[in-house]
Chain A
Amino acid sequence: MTLNNSAEFNISDRIKTLPGFRKCRNIDLAKIIPFISFKEIESDEYLYKAGEKSENLFFLIEGKIGLFSGKEIFDEISYGYLGEESIDEGSYKVDVKALSKSKIIIIPVNSLSMIMDVNPEFKSEIYSSMINHYIKDKKERPISRTNEIEKPLRNLHKIIGWLFTIIVPAVIYWTVSSSDIFEWNCKIFLTIFSAAITMWIFDLLDEFIPCVFVIASFLILNVAPPEKILSGFMSDEFFLVLSIFGIASVLISSGLTYRFVLFVLKYTPQSQFWYSIALLFLGGIITPIIPSANARIILVTPILKDMNEILGYKEAGKASTGLSSAAFHGFTLFSSVFLSSKTANFVVLGLLPEQIKDQFYWISWFIAALATGIILLFFYVCFALLFFRSSEVPRSSRKQIEKQLKVLGPVTAAEKFALLGVLIFIIGIFTSSIHKIQLPWLSIAILYFLLSFNILSKKDFRSGIDWAFLFYLGGLIGIVKVMSFVGFDNYISTKLSWLGIYMRENFTEFILVFYIIIIITRFVVPNNVVIAIFAVIFIPLSEANGINPWIIGNIILLFSDHWFFPYQCTYYTLFRNLSKDNNFYNQKTMIKFNIIINIVRVLAVYGSIFYWRMLGIL
């Protein structure tokens, strides 16, 4: 049955409410509308049968449909997707028959390719629906995700935030415009930058958007020469991060990292202690390879879920929480130790003075942060042993891991090339004194290698590289250059000279004061913004006061990771969301343990002072 006008109207409206389509752009929806049709089937009529070519995705909007495996019905639905297997070409896997008169929307899969390209979540939504057919005790999937209580509060927060974004720059401009202290472009700089900071603090937009606003405003208002404003987009760090994203994307999409994790777990001695150590070790290895704590959490959480199930730990018990803590902290705690473990590290690197920057690429960054890493690891193991001590004995997990490895099959060509790319990169880092090629250009060459062999496809190049972060990075570096051009860094150095003197003459006390300032700020300001603001201010200040700016940058990175409440930490929120259905760890215990880890971070900085002095960088 084709669409009549009223049905078309209904479906046009309805399509926007279907799971997976909600986040699609109207323009993409408009393009598929002509291909969508509507069908009514009578009771006992087959919608499709197993083995038929799967060309359409269906959505049941009214009636009742049964999914049959042979003669046995294994799922019965009255609203939702059917024929999800059509997303991947092939044939339908089950028989689907109407149990009562039903109304169905038919969506040809060919018409969905554009939506799947621009909206990767769409595919996950369809897969999730497919899996739901096979789960016996499924929970009801909410039709709408909107949290009716949260939304008005969120909107109010945004309204207040935008009001501040209008008022704060206006007040700043009014205050500084009559002052003789600043030159005109410094006044404009302060006005624009204050608007961006307000946007960041109130979390009004994705964090890269205020950077775009600042850069565009500086260019429009001629605050500095364009080459200064856009310097971040021509910097070494920009190209370095671009290539790192590319390499990491290949590592993840090829499945190499997943295989590596399973491989390590296969040979781990079967005890509570060793499984936790294995997860910590894996975290230590994966941390410098994947430059995003969120991406690492996404990688480790399914493995953790499997491990908890296989090992048979009590739900939310000490053993399972200990294992979860090892996975969570193993994959996130050492972010400041490796340059490539977190994109924000590149922000700090980018803000370092040229003469310092060259001293802190990969290996030298790692060597300088080694003491911090060792202290973090040592205290983590000690406290975890005390905190998560339990008498639970794990069941054998080896067979399950072997099964998973078997499914993965032999190492694929993509994995081999990905490994080759990483090896060339590592060799390049270690031999930089011989080949004299700067690392950003070496990494770009590797990116070229991955692209030219199509190991990194054009699609992955678009989706695997965090272009928003690159804008954020380029923008921030530009802001700092402009800040220096307009002379605001000198002003800050003068105004905060007392803190500079403190920094220079009593570094241990300075750390404590600095720590308190950062944790208070972190209650209201997101992590990356704290890094940006503090690095922009304190790196020039440390340079002016003869303290190695890398040390201050590294301390900022370490302290800004502090959190007490889940809302303060995006990767913990992600970890919690990814594991909420399984309830395999105790959230309260995790949060309490995290407070100890916060203290450990401070101890790690104090413990590193002696080491930094020994290295001659403090």
Chain B
Amino acid sequence: MKNIEKFIILLFLICFILFALHINLSKPRIFILHSYAKDFSWVNDINIGIDRVLNKKPYAVKWFYMDTKKHPDENYKKRIGKDAIKVINQWNPDILIAFDDNAQEYVAKYYIDHPKIKVIFAGMNAEPSQYNYDKAQNVTGILERIPLVALKEMMESILPEGNRKIIHLSDASETSKFVCNEFQKYDWSPFELVEDRMCKTFDDWKGTVAESKNKADIIFITHYHTIAKSRTDSSIMQPQKIIEWTDNNSKIPAISTFNFFVADGGMLAVGVSAYEQGEETVKMAIDIIENKKKGKDIPIKKNEFYVLFMRKSGLEKHNMKIPPIYEQFARALNNYFE
């Protein structure tokens, strides 16, 4: 009798293991690859967007963070890219969602026309042709394009006529090069983009900020996460320190197109919605999985939404008067920092 009992318990365990295997193996697999680290607010907001859509879907999800903001050197990027490829090959996902340019450059582009894996890109500043995605059968995604129209509207409301010169300041990363390209092609009128300055070191940055008041009326900051401490010390400056220094020393206001700028202590940002990037990629993934689509069946999109971030202390410091509707918008999204 005791043996029968043991046998049935064993049978139960076997049934459970088989059930668990059946459930787990039948789940479509999504591999989410971030170019940056989890503690970066941009990444965090993308993940919130992903969770909103992925929430109760029966998918197995694996995450990988390349952390290339804190380690911008080429060797590291190549090494982490190889590591990511190794993990992806081992896990053998159905879909690879790659966020931001480094993930495309060092990982995702190697899966073009892969027999099983479909690639969805997001947060990509480069053109799809840069990675041959335009010719691929298994690739789709959402481009990250700075909401320049919204940005111009905002600047029109805060800068008086005659004070409309812009200087663009960024680090010297690959992403910043794409952004500069985009800026140079854009029609800024009635504003004037007087200069694009990509800084390698913090000293370069400080020098540019100091010169800015003679050249422009507003500093336009995009990426600043790969700036080295000095020419002799290639370690990366803490982003908050850069913004803190800029805020304390700049005679003209600085704004950005990324939410992390305000999170790091900046005054104002009209940015791409990271939530939208996360949500849209997962919607595309669901479309591919549930409707058995190929990547090319889903057209490549551009981001449609933007978000506003504000810091009250910064606005007061530069005596900026923001139309109440913008303030309410930022407050409604919980993006208003007191």
Contacts and interface: CB of A to CB of B under 8 A. Distances in A.
B12 A158 contact: no
A497 interface: no
B5 A221 contact: no
A159 B12 contact: no
Interface stretch (A97-105, A183-191, A360-368, A584-592): A183-191
B20 A170 contact: no
Interface of A: 151-152, 155-156, 158-159, 162-163, 165-166, 169-170, 173, 183-185, 188, 191, 195, 217, 220-222, 486
The 5 closest A-B pairs by CB, nearest first: A184-B58, A162-B8, A155-B1, A183-B56, A158-B5
A173 B20 CA distance: 12
B9 A162 contact: yes
Interface in B1-51: 1-2, 4-5, 8-9, 11-12, 15-16, 19-20, 23-24, 27
B273 to A, nearest CB: 23
B15 A159 contact: no
B2 A155 contact: yes
22 contacts: A151-B1, A152-B1, A155-B1, A156-B1, A159-B1, A159-B5, A162-B12, A163-B8, A166-B8, A166-B11, A166-B15, A169-B19, A170-B15, A173-B19, A183-B56, A184-B57, A188-B23, A195-B16, A217-B16, A220-B20, A221-B24, A222-B60
Nearest to A221: B23
A220 B24 contact: yes
A302 to B, nearest CB: 36
Contacts of A152: 1
Contacts of A155: 1-2, 4-5
Contacts of B12: 162, 165-166
Contacts of B56: 183-185, 486
A86 to B, nearest CB: 36
Nearest to B51: A225
Nearest to A487: B56
B54 to A, nearest CB: 11
A222 B61 CA distance: 10
A159 B4 contact: yes
Contacts of B24: 220-221
A188 B16 CA distance: 12
B15 A162 contact: no
B8 A159 contact: yes
A220 B16 CA distance: 11
A270 B22 CA distance: 71
Nearest to A155: B1
Interface string B55-67: 0111010000000
A217 B2 contact: no
B23 A162 contact: no
A156 B8 CA distance: 11
Contacts of B60: 222
B9 A221 contact: no
B20 to A, nearest CB: 5
Contacts of A185: 56, 58
Contacts of A222: 27, 60
Interface string B296-313: 000000000000000000
Contacts of A221: 20, 23-24
A164 to B, nearest CB: 10
A498 B4 CA distance: 44
A591 B36 CA distance: 70
A184 B289 CA distance: 15
Interface string B269-299: 0000000000000000000000000000000
A441 to B, nearest CB: 29
Highest count of chain B CB atoms <10 Å: which of A170, A191, A220: A220
Highest count of chain B CB atoms <10 Å: which of A156, A165, A191: A165
Contacts of A191: 19
A162 B16 CA distance: 12
B124 to A, nearest CB: 28
A156 B1 CA distance: 7
B52 to A, nearest CB: 13
B93 to A, nearest CB: 15
Contacts of B15: 166, 170
Interface string B138-150: 0000000000000
A7 to B, nearest CB: 29
